[in-house]
Amino acid sequence: MQLRLGIPKEAHSLPPPPLFTFPSVWMAGVFWLSALLDNGLNRRPILRAGIHRQVLMTTLGFCLGYYIKRYSNYYYAERDRELFSYIKHHPEDFVEKEPRKVGEILEDFTPTR
């Protein structure tokens, strides 16, 4: 298993994801809650203490979520490219079958009493 920390240069050709995506907002919320939990565990006022830490943690979470979304877009684009090239080069493995109706697949129903 490879662990790639950087996004390859090929990923720069992809369009950037929207700024507010689920991972970026989710990670911002999780990191903000972790800052609140830190305040609570250290017996400080939860919302009023360490505003700078809360802003920093929220920003870090947002950036990490955006990076995760960007990397996942690259990963799925690369996977789709490989799959479509395989389908293109091996059409004999992907022959379209004639569509069947449900009545042809299921057996005739006879109620038993």
| Contact (CB, 8 A) for 64 and 26 | no
Residue-level pLDDT at 22: 96
Residue-level pLDDT at 6: 72
Q: Which residue has better confidence, 3 or 20?
A: 20
pTM reported for the whole predicted model: 0.74
Structural domain boundaries of the chain? 18-90
Residue-level pLDDT at 14: 84
Residue-level pLDDT at 7: 74
**DSSP letters of 5-57?**
-SPPGGGGGSPPPPSS-HHHHHHHHHHHHHHHHHHHHTTS-TTTS-HHHHHHH
Confidence at 13, pLDDT banded by 50, 70, 90: confident
